[in-house]
Amino acid sequence: MGNKILIVDDERDIVETLVFMLKQKGYECIFANDGEEGLKLAKEEEPDLIILDVMMPKINGYKICRLLKYDARYKKIPIIMITARGQEQDKAIGEETGADEYITKPFEFSTVIEKIEKYLKVD
Q: Which residues contact 72 (CB under 8 A, 6 or more apart)?
A: none
pLDDT per position as a tens digit, 47-77: 999 999 999 889 999 999 999 999 999 999 9
Q: Are 83 and 90 in contact (CB under 8 A)?
A: yes
pLDDT per position as a tens digit, 69-122: 999 999 999 999 988 876 778 778 878 889 999 998 888 989 999 999 999 975
pLDDT of residue 123: 46
Handedness of CA 16, 37, 34, 114 (dihedral sign): negative
Q: How far is CA 118 from CA 17, 24, 37, 52, in A?
A: 20, 18, 26, 17
Q: Which domains does the chain have, with CATH numbers?
A: 4-119 (3.40.50.2300)
pLDDT of residue 2: 67
pLDDT per position as a tens digit, 3-43: 999 999 999 999 999 999 999 999 999 999 999 999 999 99
pTM to 2 decimal places: 0.92
